[in-house]
Amino acid sequence: MIAHKQGSLTFYTPETIDGVAGHFFDTGISAGFPSPAEDFKEDRLSLDEELVKNKEATFYARVSGQSMIGAGLDDNDLLVIDRSLEPENNKIAVCFLDGEFTVKRLRVTKDEVWLQPENPNYPIINITEDNNFLIWGIVTNVIKKV
């Protein structure tokens, strides 16, 4: 991946490497009793094929901060962002607001747009004509370290 730093988010563009994929076990992983070893069927899995629907419009960005922890987006998580998707009410979006990038849940009414954090310690942002505002892309997936 190639990194580009923009304000509080670091964006990444995917580098596709043909023929590279991880091992995939198509039986599910039990969180209870282990299944017998002969039940495993090994295939190859490409995360790009699973997570990316439009390669030309998909980017990655690393979360910085705690404003979206209620939505499961934690500091340092990696977001998969699709710029070809239409913004809709209740979607999580990466927005350019007054010179900085932010990730928030969209709240859209007939006449207003709000950016809703998923942490009660952060304020809801009402977008007005005075703001320099752009919805940059829609978050489709989050990749976490455990």
- Catalytic, 53? Answer no
HEC profile of 25-88: ECCCCCCCCCCCHHHCCEEEECHHHHHCCCHHHEEEEECCCCCCHHHCCCCCCEEEEECCCCCC
Of the candidates 5, 41, 53, 67, the residue annotated as catalytic is 67
Cβ neighbours of residue 20 closer than 8 Å, sequence gap 6 or more: 46
Residue 42 CA to residue 95 CA, distance in Å, equals: 40
Cβ neighbours of residue 134 closer than 8 Å, sequence gap 6 or more: 95, 96
Of the candidates 46, 64, 84, 104, the residue annotated as catalytic is 104
- Catalytic, 110? Answer no
Asked whether the beta carbons of 108 and 89 are under 8 A apart, the reply is: yes
Question: What would the two tokens of residue 56 be?
Answer: 């030309």
Partners of residue 106 on adjacent β-strands: 115
Residues with catalytic annotation? 67, 104
